Structure 1
Amino acid sequence: MSEIRKLNLRELRDYIEIVTNAYPGIMKPSTEMKEETLKRFIERQTNDDTLDYYGLFRNNKLIGGMRLHFHRMNLFSKIIPVGGVGLVAIDLLHKKEKGAKELIEFFMKIFLEKGVNMVLLYPFRPDFYKKMGFGYGPKMHQYRIRPESFPKGHGKLHLRFLGSEDKEKVNECYTRIAKGTNGLFLKTTAELDGMFSNLENRMIGFDDGKKIKGYLLFSFEKRSQTNFVFNDLVIKEFIYDSPEALLEMSTFLHSQTDQVDRIVWNTQEENVHFLIDDPRNGSDNLLPSVYHESNISGVGLMYRIIDTRGIFKDLKDHNFNSITAKVKVEITDTMLPQNDGELILHFTEGWVRVLENGDYDVEISLDVSDFSSLLMGVVTFKELYQFGKAKLSNPTYLNTVNSLFFTTEKPKCISAF
């Protein structure tokens, strides 16, 4: 018989042993690291109201655990609560016993009880979580750019280094931009503090004298053990609310040529090659016939709607592109029976009403994973239909349904959890 509950402070030590074995690539088995980790876990379990550590017990023995996160996310200009899960770990002796599945089921149950309609996670295996109803989020693109490829403006008049005394101004800048950017989370206190407490971090900001209008959070990374001047500059956050702020920070990056070999930029911006002079990443790889490798990309953050009716209530003030149509939506959700089934959506000039019953013009059918990606704006309905992932009762409505869910605002997320 399994039990899942919040871990007490004594049990955190056992959880750390499980985590150390589950994540050997990031967790060193040294006593010193385990004690530092324990100290951090106790502090956050005690004082951070945006997360909790939970454990999976069988026969009163801890065999796994996870960390639950309570976030607030911009969904098409409305800030909604969302749930996150991280550090899912199972004891090595209890692998392949469906422990991870139990934890994820409990994770969704917890947030359903709190009235949260969407949850997110970073997958250790995307295919595993896709089968559990999580849909793919936007890809992350890694560019490796020569400093001189960044545009050089007329100067760096408004730039200065930022320190902990600027924390509130930085948060005001980020929050202002997050409220206008689909998918971004508001920063937690711990996340904000970590930006300034990490001694490897540097931060410059565009300060117009009244407020911070952009900032660049970065660190340096050695490229060689024998050549101390051979370094990369790694961008961790690049936030700006105007072309002027972007250009001055770009000028800063341009000026690092003598100290930096490549600027590593992990971003969900797909068109960085329009900003920089030379998009090549230094690999010298060519794709047929002559396409120069500019970046590598990866699938990461995944979204899952756990209450379809609830998410449309969240979106009652969102206009679905001024479309008028009556659509029956059939969602397949094998893990949450209460979310499996159909609902009627009446769109009138883009405004939606959710009905239990009613007439409809067209019916669409798809898995909750793909519907989650569709609703977030990651993928279009037309793409899902062409891939055979969505069904449509009347193909003449393809463009109408596609337009309903189409957005130019693909989601972005820079928060790690």
Structure 2
Amino acid sequence: MSETFRPARPDEIDDVARLEAHSFPAPDRGHEWWEDFLLNGPHGGIEALWAAEERGRLVGACQLLWMRQWIGGVAMPVMGLGSVAIAPTHRKRGLATRLLIAGFEHARERGDVGSVLYPFRASFYEGLGYGLAGEAHQYQVPPSLLPDDKQERMRVRMVDGEDDEAAMRAIYREAAQRLQTGQLDRTERNWRQSWKRDDLAAVLYWGESGEAEGYAIVRYRADLPIDRRFIELEERVWLSLPAQRGIYAWLSSLGDQWREVVYRAHPEEGFGDRLSEPRLPLLSAPSWGLWFPSATLLRGPMFRVLDVPGALALRQLAVNCDMTLVLEVDDEQIPENRGPWRVHLDGRRMEVEPYTGGHIDATMRLPVDTLSRIFIGAIAPWQAVAGGLATIDRPAVIQRLDQALAVPKPWMFDRF
């Protein structure tokens, strides 16, 4: 089989766009749309395109986007995998798997320690070492059910002009670095192209000090029939509790115009506790006896460690720790990740080297998709062991390991 995997050339944009249009057919996404997206998309252009060639013909392509993702307070270099397209005549041949494994090596060579994506099918990417790494609780409620606070609501105003946009960016960056895990380190290109659309609007909350402390971006779903229209929250970020109350209160004031708000909450936000009635609309989901449905669980992003020692060396610890582990990783696609590794947790950092003997506190064995989920905070080590996803020969160290690796549940607004 004469396959070649390589960066795409500028003169191949036409061919790649044709592949993408075949793989993701949609009325509003024809050939010209794909050409523009591949060249000028919010997260990358021609420099991110990766191609599969067979006998001189382009038969597959994807985006290996250059990104940085905030994990535990560190912006780590990661490859964002997007737009995986295989020619209709080459499906079910394992081409996508081979294309991506070659892409992993390319990303490792350029310095990426991890990879993030949104899956078309989670099981396919789990087979390539990715683990689910993001949840949201989706509520669909009348605005009047959100808590109102007139004083805080008066501090919310529409985003208008460059100074307001700069305030949004500063809020996002501080929250991504200090309060959250999983958000992308957005570039000027990301900001410029990600939210400035006619169906989107943004508001800022201004604190008593005169500084902006939170923002929200909403989407007007006026494209639907009038009896089904709603407003949906695309993203919200706050640095203070008053900002959180102000944004809730602003949303609660929109009932005269919008019948429903679709709100996607972080799992640790406790949004349902803020609602005066947390039930889903009648008959929208089955109940269980006297239990009632409240929110829909959404799952989306997946994460993969591409470079085990490189990623662990960048990962900050939540608490000071002094422990030495041997880590054995099952990674079918990247043999260099398997180890065994000597991982010394020292203070707030990890030192990683091949294990050649000596004192250790425990040995942990796990597949790379489980390691990836632990790394980004989607699950804790004890959950992996309790669920049979990992083994450790000395369970007594699990509690300390949980404390050291603790971060907020991963959360990402950007889609690609």
Equivalent residues in 2 for 1:336-415, closer than 5 Å? 336-348=334-346, 351-356=349-354, 357=356, 358-405=358-405, 407-415=406-414
The aligned counterpart of 2:174 is 176
The aligned counterpart of 2:326 is 328
SS of the counterpart of 1:87? strand
The aligned counterpart of 1:139 is 135
Shift of residue 392 of structure 1?
A: 1.5
SS of the counterpart of 1:179? helix
The aligned counterpart of 2:233 is 235
SS of the counterpart of 1:373? helix
Shift of residue 234 of structure 1?
A: 0.8
The aligned counterpart of 2:3 is 2
The aligned counterpart of 1:157 is 154
SS of the counterpart of 2:259? strand
Determine the C-alpha separation between the residues in 2 that align with 1:309 and 1:262.
47
The reply to whether residue 35 of structure 1 matches residue 32 of structure 2 is yes
Cα gap change, 1:173/1:224 in structure 2, threshold over 3 Å: closer, same or farther?
A: closer
Contact 2:10/2:46 (8 A) holds in 1: no
Out of 149-158 and 332-341, give the one that drifted further.
149-158
Determine the C-alpha separation between the residues in 2 that align with 1:361 and 1:196.
49
Measured against aligned partners, the alpha-carbon deviations of 1:161-209 in whole angstroms (never above 9, x if no partner) come to 1145333222122112211122211112232112453111111111348
Cα gap change, 1:327/1:95 in structure 2, threshold over 3 Å: closer, same or farther?
A: same
SS of the counterpart of 1:371? helix
Determine the C-alpha separation between the residues in 1 that align with 2:15 and 2:371.
38
Measured against aligned partners, the alpha-carbon deviations of 1:376-415 in whole angstroms (never above 9, x if no partner) come to 111122221122111121334443444443x152221111
Contact 2:72/2:407 (8 A) holds in 1: no
Out of 395-404 and 381-390, give the one that drifted further.
395-404
Determine the C-alpha separation between the residues in 2 that align with 1:298 and 1:44.
25
Cα gap change, 1:124/1:164 in structure 2, threshold over 3 Å: closer, same or farther?
A: farther
Contact 2:309/2:353 (8 A) holds in 1: no
Report how many aligned residue pairs link the two structures: 407
Shift of residue 273 of structure 1?
A: 0.8
Determine the C-alpha separation between the residues in 2 that align with 1:196 and 1:296.
25
User: What is the one-letter code of the residue matched to 1:19?
Assistant: E
The aligned counterpart of 2:15 is 14
The reply to whether residue 124 of structure 1 matches residue 120 of structure 2 is yes
Shift of residue 229 of structure 1?
A: 5.9
Measured against aligned partners, the alpha-carbon deviations of 1:305-354 in whole angstroms (never above 9, x if no partner) come to 11111112212xx2353333221111111110111121112234554332
Shift of residue 49 of structure 1?
A: 6.8
TM-score (norm 2): 0.90
The aligned counterpart of 2:82 is 86
TM-score (norm 1): 0.90
Out of 349-358 and 66-75, give the one that drifted further.
349-358
Cα gap change, 1:386/1:198 in structure 2, threshold over 3 Å: closer, same or farther?
A: same
The aligned counterpart of 1:63 is 59
Which stretches in structure 1 are left out of the alignment for 5+ residues? none
Cα gap change, 1:280/1:297 in structure 2, threshold over 3 Å: closer, same or farther?
A: same
The aligned counterpart of 1:74 is 70
Cα gap change, 1:243/1:107 in structure 2, threshold over 3 Å: closer, same or farther?
A: same
Determine the C-alpha separation between the residues in 1 that align with 2:61 and 2:136.
27
Cα gap change, 1:212/1:229 in structure 2, threshold over 3 Å: closer, same or farther?
A: farther
Contact 2:64/2:107 (8 A) holds in 1: no
Contact 2:329/2:339 (8 A) holds in 1: yes
The aligned counterpart of 1:247 is 245
Determine the C-alpha separation between the residues in 1 that align with 2:331 and 2:348.
26
Determine the C-alpha separation between the residues in 2 that align with 1:312 and 1:398.
17
Determine the C-alpha separation between the residues in 1 that align with 2:192 and 2:68.
17
User: What is the one-letter code of the residue matched to 1:4?
Assistant: F
Contact 1:44/1:51 (8 A) holds in 2: no
The aligned counterpart of 1:314 is 314
Determine the C-alpha separation between the residues in 1 that align with 2:195 and 2:288.
44
Contact 1:50/1:188 (8 A) holds in 2: no
Shift of residue 282 of structure 1?
A: 0.9
Determine the C-alpha separation between the residues in 2 that align with 1:203 and 1:117.
34
Out of 272-281 and 214-223, give the one that drifted further.
214-223
The aligned counterpart of 1:95 is 91
Determine the C-alpha separation between the residues in 1 that align with 2:231 and 2:169.
23
Contact 1:230/1:260 (8 A) holds in 2: no
Determine the C-alpha separation between the residues in 1 that align with 2:64 and 2:282.
39
User: What is the one-letter code of the residue matched to 2:197?
Assistant: N
SS of the counterpart of 1:278? coil
Cα gap change, 1:223/1:281 in structure 2, threshold over 3 Å: closer, same or farther?
A: farther
Equivalent residues in 2 for 1:249-264, closer than 5 Å? 249-264=247-262
Aligned alpha-carbon RMSD (Å): 2.4
The aligned counterpart of 2:299 is 299
